[in-house]
Amino acid sequence: MIELGVNIDHIATLRQARRTRYPDPVLGATLAEEAGADLITLHLREDRRHIQDEDVRRLRPVLRTRMNLEMAIAPDMIAFAKATRPQDVCLVPERREELTTEGGLDVLGGFDAVRAAVAELEACGIRVSLFIDPDRRQVEAAHAAGARIVELHTGAYAESADEASSGVDPGCASPTAEATRSASACARELDRVRVAASRAHALGLRVNAGHGLNIGNVEAIVRIPEICELNIGHALVADAVFVGWQVAIRRMKSLMLAAREP
Ligand code: PXP
């Protein structure tokens, strides 16, 4: 089985662009569950650029699946999570000026703070995931810090896969040197995810993945058997502009299920 976590952040991004009441991310979550989402993911960022505290509070009691709250390691965020009680918390690095979550959490570098945050949240019955780069040392540090889950950052893979596929010209008999370079970068990044997933699984960790995934690049990630859950947001909201929110979710879910079939 592979689960789809639908990230609703960018429904809120659209709302915040005009400071309107719509589109409502809570309605987006309900419709996503109806369309086959296995969980709902949302990121309460320090600058509140999309999801607001009130969105999380409104969403918590109406979710029929489960909530995966992404947040930075900060005392106010930990207090908020303890009060709101999502089923899962995914700890992510955060820099105010970044466009999105660029790079995984440095568990090795901030080991004591990560371990303390994991212990505090787990003590409240919240399952903790660490969003890390697909790197063996980070996987081992996540395990040592007491996390039960790692979410492997697929951003570098996704970027190289998208680049490789954009360089392929169906009318051209042989690929350009550029396309060949992108294809080998993509294979390298995919291998990093595979190796990290296998190490995490061997340590007894649940393995999730996400970032930059879309219908053009998701299948290779789904075929990594240790991966249990994918968290996808931007591409689903982008596809929804043209085909509708529920169609975009159903299409992603069926692609994932088909790619997982033996
Ligand atoms: N997983 C984590 C931990 C993230 O921070 C994000 C981006 O908010 C995602 C998954 C989803 O990434 P995308 O929006 O590129 O699908």
* β partners of residue 75: none
> Catalytic residue at 10?
no
Is there an atom of ligand 1 within 6 Å of 5 CB?
no
Q: Which of 70, 94, 151, 229 is catalytic?
A: 70
Task: Determine the residue of 40, 71, 101, 162 to mutate for testing ligand 1's pocket, defined as the one with the most ligand atoms within 8 A of the Cβ atom.
Answer: 101
Output the pLDDT for position 179. Answer: 76
Is there an atom of ligand 1 within 6 Å of 151 CB?
yes
Output the pLDDT for position 104. Answer: 96
CB-based contact 72:91 (threshold 8 Å): yes
Residues 6 or more apart whose Cβ sits within 8 Å of residue 236 = 6, 7, 245, 248, 249, 252
CB-based contact 132:110 (threshold 8 Å): no
Distance in angstroms (rounded) separating the CA atoms of residues 112 and 120: 12
- DSSP, collapsed to helix, strand or coil, labels residue 100 as coil
Output the pLDDT for position 167. Answer: 66
Q: 0.75 cut: is pTM over it?
A: yes
- 99 alpha carbon – ligand 1 mean position (Å): 11
> Catalytic residue at 70?
yes
Q: Distances in Å between the alpha carbon of 19 and those of 12, 212, 227?
A: 10, 26, 37
Output the pLDDT for position 101. Answer: 67
- 158 alpha carbon – ligand 1 mean position (Å): 12
Q: Which segments of 44-178 are extended strands (E)?
A: 67-71, 88-91, 127-132, 149-153
Distance in angstroms (rounded) separating the CA atoms of residues 129 and 143: 10
CB-based contact 121:78 (threshold 8 Å): yes
Residues 6 or more apart whose Cβ sits within 8 Å of residue 135 = 104, 192, 196
Residue among 159, 258, 142 at smallest CA distance from 197 = 142
Distance in angstroms (rounded) separating the CA atoms of residues 27 and 43: 16
pLDDT string in tens for the chain (262-residue length): 999 999 999 999 999 999 999 999 999 999 999 999 999 999 999 999 999 999 999 999 999 999 999 999 999 999 999 999 999 999 999 876 677 767 899 999 999 999 999 999 999 999 999 999 999 999 999 999 999 999 999 999 999 999 998 866 656 666 677 778 888 999 999 999 999 999 999 999 999 999 999 999 999 999 999 999 999 999 999 999 999 999 999 999 999 999 998 7
Is there an atom of ligand 1 within 6 Å of 213 CB?
yes
